[in-house]
Amino acid sequence: MLVAGAYLSLLAPVAAQASDVVNLEEMNSYSRSQTKSSRLDSKTFINEVSEDIAILKSRVDGLEVKQNEFEAGGFSDTTVMDQKVVFDVGVMDFSETDDINETTQFAYSYRMNLNTSFTGDDNMYIRILSGNHGQWMKDSNDGGYLTSVGKGNNLQVDKIWYQFPVGENNTVWVGPKIENYYMHGTAPSIYKPVTKQFTLGGNGNAYGASTDTGAGWAYKADNGFAISSNVGTKSKTTNGDTGLLTNNSKTSWATQVGYTQPQYAVSAIVNLKYNGWTDGYLHTAAADDAVTGGDGNHTAVGLRGWWRPESTGTATPSISVGYDTTQYSGVPSGTSDSSDMWFVGLQWQDIINADDKIGLAFAQPTMHDDETNDPFAYELYYSYKANDSVTVTPTIFGGTDRDGGTEDVFGALVQTTFKF
């Protein structure tokens, strides 16, 4: 009893202080006056769900609008794009001169290809190109001009044309920037080079390579026979040219006849070139001078053929061969009016690893008949495919007497190609 009394006496002050601070009865009264009972039923949930669905639908509609806006600014469903970046690291050595060309060069090129069809059978082709190659990598006189060369660090339209079928066996091309070899009915060569001089079964006078205004037609029969004819002309008056197909326009008119089967092909071409048209990468300086030394007109005839084995991975390579002969008009009396060129390209596929290539090409560059030297050009490479997108190609190349003199050249290059 004494302990209980003492305990109650201790709690009394605490209770009194609590009643002064918090009035429980007043709190209960305030709570009852401020709250109202809400009744839950099925309509409550229906209303809330309906509101949520309305909000969700408005958001979906907004996303659809944004998607339509994005698709309106995107590529057409019929447009296909592929891209390629090439790194070139190499050096050139000259036997008689010692200049900046002998320093090691590291250059790149970027290429974007766009193909669009409007009917399912036609095609609009656009190539965007950039790069920073210079010196021997862009000098065709010494044979170092690479197939991967870009054209300045700025992105620019390098090629653009439109092609469409006429009937079942005819194709027509037209474009402000096109090279004539895209419009041939028969592929002149299947050798894949590193230096551009060895494209087209010898890139001399008969085929050449110059991007200008052009149009062409090709007929391909079901049995492998093909005939094609095309015209290229320098028509940009801002560059000092005289306009499209005028009497003074630099013009190239090429007509080719060929026959192709799965394992081989043969073809012949006649290329009429007027008013000082020059192109090609497999030539000597004297052969170029023969064009300017006459009236600027010449006729080139080219013979091409290629053969490949039934299966790859064997010691037997594919073989591509070519021969050109050129007649120059209006040359001075006592000067020869002709030149010639020959080419051989060998290529082994899957010989060491799957998808690899070994290439060997050698040729006599287009040589004027008055020349006393014996010009020669070659390249040898091994192309290794690291994966589906990356290929590494070590290459050596060179030649003798390419500039019309006695200087020999030797080059080494590692080319890495990224496709995406």
Q: What is the pLDDT of residue 14?
A: 38
Per-residue pLDDT tens digits for 351-375: 888 899 999 999 999 988 888 788 9
Say if residue 141 is exposed, middle or buried (CB neighbours under 10 Å; 0-12, 13-18, 19+).
middle
Other CB atoms within 10 Å distance of the CB of residue 49: 10
Rg over CA atoms, the chain: 38
Task: Answer whether 201's CB lies under 8 Å from 321's CB.
Answer: yes
59: region left, alpha or beta (phi > 0 left; psi from -120 to 50 alpha): alpha
List, in order, residues 6 or more apart from 192 with CB less than 8 Å away.
347, 357, 359, 383
Please state, in angstroms and as integers, the Cα–Cα distance from residue 241 to each residue in 79, 142, 230, 329, 389, following that order: 34, 28, 20, 21, 42
Amino acid letter for position 258: G
Q: What is the pLDDT of residue 41?
A: 52
Q: What is the pLDDT of residue 201?
A: 97
Q: What is the pLDDT of residue 340?
A: 94
Q: What is the pLDDT of residue 31?
A: 40
- For tokens 């006599």, what's the residue? 364
Q: What is the pLDDT of residue 401?
A: 82
CATH fold, domain 75-419, is: Porin (2.40.160)
Q: Which of 60, 91, 76, 83 is nearest to 123 (CA)?
A: 76
Q: What is the pLDDT of residue 54?
A: 62
Q: Which residue positions in the chain have pLDDT lower than 70?
A: 1-76, 98-100, 236-242, 403-405
pTM: 0.79
Q: What is the pLDDT of residue 262?
A: 96
Containing 416, the helix (H) or strand (E) segment is strand 408-419
List, in order, residues 6 or more apart from 390 with CB less than 8 Å away.
416, 417, 418, 419
Q: What is the pLDDT of residue 8?
A: 39
Q: What is the pLDDT of residue 11?
A: 40
Q: What is the pLDDT of residue 49?
A: 53
